[in-house]
Amino acid sequence: MTWSKKFALALLSLLAIVVAYQLGKQIGAWIIRSGTMIG
């Protein structure tokens, strides 16, 4: 594996982690909101 490939892969996985984290926060907030609405 070349350095550029390793770097691109690391960047891609970092981006995926950030996106998953943001998505999780949104889903968590949405669940809490609907939970309080129902309750």
Q: What is the model's pTM? A: 0.64
Cα angle, residue 13 at apex, residues 7 and 26 outer, rounded to 5°: 145
Written as six digits, the tokens of 26 are 């949104």
pLDDT at 26: 95
The string of pLDDT tens digits covering residues 6-37 is: 999 999 999 999 999 999 999 999 988 888 76
pLDDT at 38: 63
pLDDT at 32: 87
The answer to whether residue 39 scores a pLDDT higher than 70 is no
Q: Sign (positive/negative) of CA torsion 8, 14, 17, 18?
A: negative
C-alpha distances out from residue 38 to 9, 30, 31, 32, 34, Å: 43, 12, 10, 10, 6
